[in-house]
Amino acid sequence: MASLGRLLSCFDADLREGLDRHGLRKRYVYYFSGAVGSGKSSSHVTALGTSGSTTRMCRLPSARGGGYNDSMRIFLAGASGVIGKRLIPRLVQAGHVVGGLTRSSSKTELLSHLGAEPILCDVFDRKALIQAVRDFKPDVILNELTDLPDDVTQISEHTGLNARIRTEGNQNLIEAARRSGSPKILAQSVAWRLPDGPDALAVAQLERSVLAEGGVVLRYGQFYGPGTYNEQQPPVEPRVHIDRAADRTAEVLGEPTGVVIIID
């Protein structure tokens, strides 16, 4: 009850401060949580400020450390990917300790330079992955794994590979979480409808499995900006600039279980 009282008091103070400062003129991006495809209205809505605003969160005591602390240990799978490379410096700047998973020894120096602790392991090696997660002792597992080619014209050739990392790779991360104190899981998904096929089935399976663990599904719009497939021109909606996607991801680590939509 004491923790609940502190939480409500903090929430009330933040709410009054926000209203005093911004009134009703502040614009918000809304994130909804609820069952995928349930057709029911959301029971939880979180509003985060658009660019230029600051989000403040009230936190209950950490299950791992006790006391109130914004700093977390984050196991980032897909750390050397297009969004992973942008997430690391943001998370480190926010005070978090980041373990960056990569299966390529050539990427470890890059991850160190960005501020992460490189973790060299193949997500498909379940035994080694479980040990790696246990050793890092994360508060959060952030799954930003994809298996996509550098050349967008070759995407169709990677459909099976990307589907596998979303199913087998994601399931291995879930199993590693179960065996290391059940840290919170957040996982990348997509905000647009995929054509019927292996990738669509894999995304549906990933979302179901993450929500079943009490995790958070991150549905991103199509990335655009430097280093993406859409460097020169934004794609059709839903879309999100890669830097905005990284900013929003860093902001929603504390969201309750559900689906978070990250778009422009």
Token readout for 39 is 């057709």
Q: Could you tell me where the beta strands, DSSP code E, fall in 173-257?
A: 184-190, 216-220, 222-224, 239-241
| pLDDT tens-digit series, residues 69-107 | 489 999 999 999 999 999 999 999 999 999 999 999 999
Task: Average the pLDDT over 137-152 and give the result.
Answer: 95
pLDDT at 158: 79
Determine the Cα–Cα distance for residues 187 and 167; give it in Å rounded to an integer.
11
Tokens 């090696």 identify what position?
125
What is the structure's pLDDT at 249?
98
- Look at residue 155 in the predicted model and tell me its pLDDT: 84
Q: Which residue has the tokens 């060299």?
A: 120
Section 176-185 average pLDDT: 98
Is pLDDT above 50 for 125? yes
Mean pLDDT of the chain: 81
Cα maximum dimension of the chain: 57
Find out whether 74 and 99 touch, Cβ atoms under 8 Å: yes
Q: Enumerate the domain spans of the chain.
A: 70-262
Apex 238 CA angle, 48 and 47, nearest 5: 10
The DSSP call for residue 41 is P
Q: What is the pLDDT of residues 187-240, one digit of tens each?
A: 999 999 999 999 999 999 999 999 999 999 999 999 999 999 999 999 999 999
Q: How far is 122 from 169, CA to CA, in rounded Å? A: 9
- CB-CB neighbours of 161 under 10 Å: 14
Identify the CATH homologous superfamily for domain 70-262: NAD(P)-binding Rossmann-like Domain (3.40.50.720)
**Cross-strand bridge partners of residue 185:** 141
pLDDT tier at 246 (50, 70, 90 boundaries)? very high
Which of 226, 204, 206, 260 is closest to 82 using CA atoms? 226
